[in-house]
């Protein structure tokens, strides 16, 4: 299919994305059963929701670019990425967003830094990532760093004689937990975890230990011990603490910062607008949304969007005293990605309407048209951390209610 070069009337419109799928041996079936991933892959371990990485590129699923690889669209329209993100000029995004369904333990692994990857991996990016725990079975845990300081020789010997688990720090996880996994940190997701991973756009993983599992070919899976020993942080890692987070309350939605590092910024949005007729949207309406399949390419004209004042960053605004919709747009600094992790709703603007439900991912180009969101849903909003501007969710002169809330 030939790439469509857009004219002014289709520029800066949001669109749904279709993920690439991964069938790693530790995956399960929940992404298909609970997150509407109608992908004929078993096990379905990961879906790369927003990815321009060649190992798993996502595609556009709605609008005039439907069917095209996201990287091809962004190569043709770099203005969609924005003015601040550092890119390679070839349509690559600096971040990658994925769902992970860990039915079994993942391997014990580590990722290199940008500096190491540039030197030893042909100029690739390293990998710092964050995890947002969507679901956790009772007793589910993850590996996060070492319990004590080690030497390279101690770690190498423990990998050789299968005693490395005595040094691994295991942390019990719960729904709503957030972890920042910096490059060099030994880690592993444990069985029973459903996670959103937001990371640098990299697929460099050095597997250190894999419980002697066999791959699909019947052979032990490859380990990368030499490189892992080069990059791993051998110091004891303090236990991660789940911080209380500040929630900003606005008409129709709330917003809270989950994590920010130099690579990305992630916020959780909880949307609850009024249905027509004045009835509040019901929590749990995701069930009805799942029963009514969404046509990812359905669009129609809607010229009812409220006027909004543009500034250098994206912002959420109140539409007067009404709560039938929440107005949203991005500034020229950076694209944003909306990932629906629960519920359903619509995102509409001048000549576009996108219905979304649990599991859907929407790419909103930089300097977008004015948009409105309706529905009852929980969304993760991801943007490039270096985009600058006021804190997301804030407007000049607006003083939202603030509650210190529990992480869950």
pLDDT tens digits, 3-46: 444 444 445 999 999 999 999 999 999 999 999 999 999 999 99
129 touches 204 (CB < 8 A): no
Q: What angle do CA 115, 262, 207 make, to 5 degrees?
A: 50
- % of the chain residues with pLDDT over 70: 79
Q: Which residues contact 271 (CB under 8 A, 6 or more apart)?
A: 252, 253, 326, 343, 345, 373, 375, 376, 377, 378, 379
- Please calculate the CA angle 162-231-23 and round it to the nearest 5 degrees: 65
Residue 87 banded pLDDT, cuts 50, 70, 90 = low
Report how far residue 383's alpha carbon sits from residue 337's, in angstroms, rounded to the nearest whole number: 7
Q: What's the DSSP call for residue 227?
A: H
Cα–Cα distance measured from residue 386 to residue 85, given in angstroms and rounded to the nearest whole number:
7
Question: CA–CA separation, 361 vs 377, rounded Å?
Answer: 13
Using one digit for the tens of pLDDT, what is the confidence trace for 347-366? Answer: 999 899 999 999 999 999 99
| CATH of the domain spanning 8-231 | 2.60.120.10
User: Which DSSP symbol is given to 199?
Assistant: E
Q: Which residues are part of the catalytic machinery?
A: 207
The average pLDDT across 122-127 equals 94
Residue 209: closest CA among 261, 172, 156: 156
Q: Per-residue pLDDT for 85 more than 80?
A: no
Q: What average pLDDT does range 231-237 have in this prediction?
A: 98
Which is the CATH superfamily of the domain at 245-405? Jelly Rolls (2.60.120.10)
Give the pLDDT confidence of 142-163 residue by residue, as tens digits: 999 999 999 999 999 999 999 9
**pLDDT interval class at 187 (50, 70, 90):** very high
Q: Tell me if 189 sits within 8 A of 102, measured CB to CB.
A: yes
3-state helix, strand, coil in the chain (%, to 5): 15, 35, 50
192 backbone dihedrals φ, ψ, rounded to 5°: 90, 10
Alpha carbon 115 to chain centroid, angstroms? 24
Q: Where in the chain is the domain with CATH 2.60.120.10?
A: 8-231, 245-405
The model's confidence at residue 89, banded by pLDDT at 50, 70 and 90, is low
- Asked if residues 377 and 403 have their Cβ atoms less than 8 Å apart, the reply is no
Pairing of strands 245-250, 168-172: unpaired
User: Are 16 and 42 a contacting pair, CB within 8 Å?
Assistant: no
pLDDT at 296 over 50: no
CA angle centred on 65, ends 340 and 376, rounded to 5°? 20
Count Cβ neighbours within 10 Å for each residue of 269-299 and write b for 16 or more, e otherwise. Answer: bbbbbbeeeeeebeeebbeebbeeebebeeb
pLDDT for residue 331 is more than 60: yes
3-state SS, 256-320, equals EEEEECCCCEEEEEEEECECCCCCECCCCCHHHHHHCCCCCCCCCCCCCCCCCCCCCCCEEECCC
Q: What is the pLDDT, as a whole number, of residue 109? A: 98
Higher pLDDT, 190 or 289: 190
pLDDT of res. 285? 24
């Amino acid at each position: 299919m030939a790439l469509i070069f857009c004219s002014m009337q289709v520029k800066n419109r949001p669109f749904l994305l279709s993920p690439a799928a991964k069938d790693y041996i530790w995956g399960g079936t929940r992404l298909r059963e609970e997150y509407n991933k109608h992908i004929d892959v078993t096990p379905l371990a990961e879906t790369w929701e927003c990815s321009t990485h060649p190992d798993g590129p996502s595609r556009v699923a709605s609008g005039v670019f439907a069917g095209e690889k996201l990287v091809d669209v962004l190569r043709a329209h770099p203005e969609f990425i924005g003015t601040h993100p550092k890119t390679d000029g070839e349509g690559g995004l600096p971040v990658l967003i994925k769902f992970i369904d860990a039915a079994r333990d993942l391997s014990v692994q580590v990722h290199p830094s940008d500096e190491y990857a540039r030197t030893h991996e042909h100029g690739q990016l390293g990998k710092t990532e964050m995890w947002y725990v969507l679901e956790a079975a009772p007793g589910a845990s993850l590996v996060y760093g070492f319990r004590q300081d080690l030497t390279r020789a101690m770690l190498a010997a423990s990998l050789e004689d299968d005693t490395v688990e005595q040094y691994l720090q295991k942390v019990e996880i719960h729904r709503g937990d957030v972890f920042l996994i910096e490059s060099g940190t030994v880690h592993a997701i444990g069985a029973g975890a459903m996670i959103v991973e937001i990371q640098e756009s990299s697929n460099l993983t050095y597997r250190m230990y894999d419980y002697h599992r066999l791959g699909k070919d019947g052979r032990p899976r490859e380990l990368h011990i030499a490189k892992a020993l080069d990059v791993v942080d051998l110091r004891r890692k303090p236990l991660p603490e789940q911080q209380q987070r500040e929630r900003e309350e606005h008409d129709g939605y709330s917003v809270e910062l989950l994590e920010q590092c130099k690579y990305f910024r992630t916020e959780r949005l909880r949307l609850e607008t009024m249905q027509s007729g004045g009835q509040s949207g019901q929590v749990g309406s995701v069930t009805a949304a799942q029963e009514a399949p969404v046509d990812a390419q359905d669009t129609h004209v809607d010229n009812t969007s409220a006027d909004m004042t543009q500034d250098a960053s994206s912002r959420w605004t109140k539409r007067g005293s009404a709560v039938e919709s929440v107005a949203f747009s991005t500034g020229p600094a950076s694209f944003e990605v909306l990932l629906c992790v629960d519920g359903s709703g619509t995102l509409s603007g001048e000549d576009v309407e996108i219905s979304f439900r649990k599991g859907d991912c929407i790419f909103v180009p930089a300097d977008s048209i004015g948009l409105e969101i309706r529905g009852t849903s929980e969304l993760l909003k991801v943007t490039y951390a270096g985009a600058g501007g006021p804190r997301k969710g804030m407007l000049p002169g607006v003083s939202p209610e603030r509650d210190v809330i529990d992480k869950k």
